[in-house]
Amino acid sequence: MKFYLKPVLSVLALATLLVYSGCGGGGDPGPTEEEKALTSLSATWKVAGGANNDVTLDGVSKKADYNGFTLTISGTAGAASYGYTTAGRPSLSAWPANGSWKFGDPLATDITRDPGTDKEVDIHYTVTGDQLELTFTYNQAGESRTDKVTGVWIFRMSK
């Protein structure tokens, strides 16, 4: 009986090893929601060009004032906050030259610009392909002049 037991135990041990070696480590889980959102936002966005691009303040087009405006959004997933820079701001602007931002809740649609500062603004965003729409209410002094920048701003930009 001992003669038959050794081959059976060997076969069982080998089968167990094969079963466990076939179990993968789960593979790559893919990008997180934060990584997906950051990837879609990270770019240089322009008001110029694009048939649907526009900037409005309380429903009135300000595209002519923002025709040279660009917003560059950047960051590394997992950071506490990310960065942005602007160029081509008009003298009357609700945007600082640069600053930081973080994801809001839900992160797929909301960010907070310049969190924890006197320039903090909650922004709702939508990215569709190469189009970005930002909507926010600005109730602070302008970055260059202190009047006529408060209200609901909508920026429609493209890459």
DSSP string, 50-104: STT-EEEETTEE-TTTTTT-EEEEE--TT-S-EEEEEES--SS-SS-SEEEEEE-
Q: What pLDDT score does 91 carry? A: 82
Residue 20: its H or E element: helix 2-22
pLDDT band of residue 9 (cuts 50, 70, 90) is very low
Least confident piece of the model among 13-17, 80-84, 130-134, 154-158: 13-17
Q: What pLDDT score does 145 carry? A: 46
Question: What's the farthest any 2 CA atoms get from each other in the chain?
Answer: 97
Residues 6+ positions from 124 with CB-CB distance below 8 Å: 109, 110, 134, 135, 136
Long-range pairs for 133-137: beta carbons < 8 A, 24 or more residues apart: 133/157, 136/94
Report whether 114 contacts 100 (CB < 8 A). yes
Place of tokens 């008009």: 90
pLDDT band of residue 136 (cuts 50, 70, 90) is very high
Q: What pLDDT score does 21 carry? A: 54
Average pLDDT along the chain: 85
